[in-house]
Amino acid sequence: MTTTSPRPPRAAGPPAGPAPLAVLRPVRTATRYAVRHGLPAVYLARAARRGDPVGLLLRDRASREDPYDLYERLRARGPLSRSALGPVTTSHAVATEVLRSDAAGVGWDRSQAPALIRWALRFGDELDATGVAEPPSMLVTDPPGHTRFRRLVSRAFTPRATLASEPMVQRTAEALLDRLTGRGDVVDLVEAYAAQLPVLVIADLLGVPVERREDFLRWGAAAAATLDPGLPLRRYLAAERGLRAMHAFLRGHFDRLRRDPGEDLVSRLVTLPEDEALTERELHATVMLLLGAGFETTVNLLGNAVVLLDAHRDQWDALRADPAGWDGAVEEVLRHDSPVQLTGRTITRGTEVAGTRLPAGTRVTLLLGAANRDPGVFGDPARFDVTRANARDHLAFSGGIHYCLGAGLARLEGVVGLRVLSERFPRLRVAGRPVRRDLQTLRGFETLPVRLG
Ligand code: HEM
């Protein structure tokens, strides 16, 4: 392991923003809210009133709960259609092309924004309020920064490392279900299992204290909302409280590891040799992304799977009879009801996409959940079929250089988590109305009442 003696982080790197004068904090929060969510909210609400599909998707609760009709209406307009947010695609081929294109990136070129917006972004910038989809998170960083961040952590997510985690994932799943054995009442499966398994697994892998898992879940649930544009003020403030609590925890955790590093990934990141070291901001962004992405997405895979298999009971029974089918079942759940519904890319140099010339600076919205139901790739795409031969061709983990780093781990948690659940509680049934999370980018359930049988 390439570690050196513990020492403070480098001071160099992206500007940390103005000194956090306590008296200015509410003004900065208001500025941040206005520029990141308030203005987009007004704009999107207007677009939704005009019937703009992306406006509806992001502002209308019913369309958020079930976006699939809207996706089909968009698909009927062609592979790349116009929307309030710019060009948007439901096409698997176009989404794949954009994700792999070297003329598209994840960064935003702020230099093109009006001066007032640029000032507001700078003034509102504060490490402790920074979410997982803000720089320098690798999710929104282009090469060479992206290459550097990803290389530093990818060792922990190689196929070999993932395979080595299987016994831990299985033990964790079984221990959670042990606690539920004998419960005859209705149980919220999200709270008791689907949310717990991913957070315990990622905490174990990153070496963060598992005892804090309820805190992580609370902070993460609030912060997940920041992935959606145009949040109402109250939800934004709750999200920011979650982010601040998470950053405060991380700061203390990094300090402890600098004094007394272990063998885990985070210890390695805080003690990198001088020439590789991450700035404080980069360290927060990287660990927060790994932690958040590790549990805020996989919970949705598990919940969506249980609801789909309850509605297709013959397929649940077939999987119980032949557990080798769980790999395919997980791919079909990822395709049919994708935990991450959309992402975006910015065109970095003028290029043609689906016959349309897109100038540099154009933001393209990629509806991954719609691409995964593209009839040109998946026959009878609205049908849920765990034996579908090409289910794995989905874009649920994105594509190109930002392809999900944790895809192997998520698949493992899905397969092991669902197999163990079906073995332990073969008669499990949904027992009440599952409630969707009020989110657009992420798609899953807030509560999932089940009777274990
Ligand atoms: C079912 C579960 C999951 C789904 C559906 C999912 C989906 C995604 C998607 C769609 C992206 C790329 C977004 C884009 O291209 O703009 C992504 C990136 C990422 N995911 Fe996942 N993810 C899951 C689980 C995980 C887990 C368990 C981890 C573990 C740490 C993880 C870590 C990451 C990281 C670090 C990135 C950023 C990669 C980069 O920018 O190079 N994900 N994920």
- Identify which of 146, 298, 331, 404 to mutate to test ligand 1's pocket (most ligand atoms within 8 A of the CB): 404
Say how many Å lie between the CA of residue 292 and the centre of ligand 1: 10
What is the distance between the alpha carbons of residues 404 and 298, in angstroms, rounded to a whole number?
A: 12
Q: Does residue 104 line the site of ligand 1, with CB under 6 A?
A: no
Closest-CA residue to 333 (of 417, 271, 426): 417
For residue 167, cis peptide bond before it (omega within 30 degrees of 0): no
Q: Are 139 and 133 in contact (CB under 8 A)?
A: yes
Mean pLDDT per 10-residue run, the chain (453 residues)? 36 45 84 91 91 86 91 96 93 98 90 86 90 94 97 95 97 97 94 97 92 92 88 93 96 96 94 95 96 94 98 98 98 98 96 96 96 98 98 98 98 98 97 94 97 93
Please tell me the residue having the least CA distance from ligand 1 atom 2.
298
Report the sign of the C-alpha dihedral through residues 380, 382, 386, 390, in that order: positive
Residue 453's pLDDT is what? 86
Q: Measured at the alpha carbon of residue 340, what is the angle toward residues 354 and 64, in degrees to the nearest 5? A: 90
Please tell me the residue having the least CA distance from ligand 1 atom 21.
404
Residue 60's pLDDT is what? 85
Instruction: Return the domain boundaries, the chain.
Output: 22-451
Q: Does residue 305 line the site of ligand 1, with CB under 6 A?
A: no
Helices 407-424 and 326-336: angle between axes, nearest 10 degrees: 110
Residue 5's pLDDT is what? 36
What is the distance between the alpha carbons of residues 302 and 418, in angstroms, rounded to a whole number?
A: 7
- What atom of ligand 1 comes closest to residue 403's alpha carbon? 12
Burial class for 160, CB neighbours closer than 10 Å (0-12, 13-18, 19+): exposed
What is the distance between the alpha carbons of residues 340 and 368, in angstroms, rounded to a whole number?
A: 7
- Model pLDDT for residues 410-435, shown as the tens digit of each residue: 999 999 999 999 999 999 999 999 99
| 22-451 homologous superfamily | Cytochrome P450 (1.10.630.10)
Closest-CA residue to 282 (of 158, 130, 402): 130
Say how many Å lie between the CA of residue 293 and the centre of ligand 1: 6
- Identify which of 134, 297, 337 to mutate to test ligand 1's pocket (most ligand atoms within 8 A of the CB): 297
Q: Does residue 149 line the site of ligand 1, with CB under 6 A?
A: no
